[in-house]
């Protein structure tokens, strides 16, 4: 390999556009801004997103519906049938569920619902339980512990 064999990576040696240098620069007499108008003026080209030139913006014309509660708790929900993969008498916590990728994140808490059956006795620790889930776990010989 010689020094004459070396070259810069493609796209690295582009020259920046030199505007405002007249018709001979390749960018014309208006410097790529077109003729007149708001974006041709100096200092007036930056418009906020959604600005429609003084016309009532679309976001304000469209009717608003409904209500979004920003204080809503984001719970991870699990059904009992997902707990059958654990061994008998094992302790199930939200951290173990996350580790096994049964839930993505703990968030504001974990709620166990009663869909499906529990075959083995399990010790289940979670933030919330439905009545049917609690009954089915205790019927199978397991324990339910509510986390705060």
Which domains are delineated in the chain? Answer: 19-66 (no CATH), 76-146 (3.100.10.10)
Contact (Cβ atoms closer than 8 angstroms) between residue 76 and residue 105 = yes
| Residue-level pLDDT at 142 | 92
pTM summary value:
0.57
Per-residue pLDDT tens over the stretch 82-137: 998 899 999 999 999 999 999 999 989 999 999 999 989 999 999 999 999 999 99
Tens of pLDDT, residues 64-91: 999 999 999 999 999 999 998 899 999 9
Q: What is the pLDDT of residue 95?
A: 94
Structure confidence at residue 25 as a pLDDT band (50, 70, 90): confident
């Amino acid at each position: 390999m010689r020094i004459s064999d070396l070259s810069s990576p493609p796209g690295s040696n582009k020259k920046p556009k030199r505007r405002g240098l007249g018709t001979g620069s390749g960018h014309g007499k208006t410097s790529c801004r077109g003729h007149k108008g708001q974006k041709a003026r100096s200092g007036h080209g930056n418009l906020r997103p959604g600005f429609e030139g003084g016309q009532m913006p679309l976001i304000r014309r469209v009717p608003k519906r409904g209500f979004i509660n920003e204080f809503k708790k984001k719970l991870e929900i699990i059904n009992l049938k997902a707990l059958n993969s654990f061994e008998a008498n094992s302790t199930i916590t939200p951290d173990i569920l996350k580790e096994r990728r049964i839930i993505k994140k703990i968030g504001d808490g974990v709620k166990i619902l009663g869909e499906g059956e529990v075959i083995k006795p399990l010790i289940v620790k979670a933030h919330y339980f439905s009545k049917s889930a609690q009954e089915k776990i205790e019927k199978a010989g397991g324990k339910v512990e509510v986390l705060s």
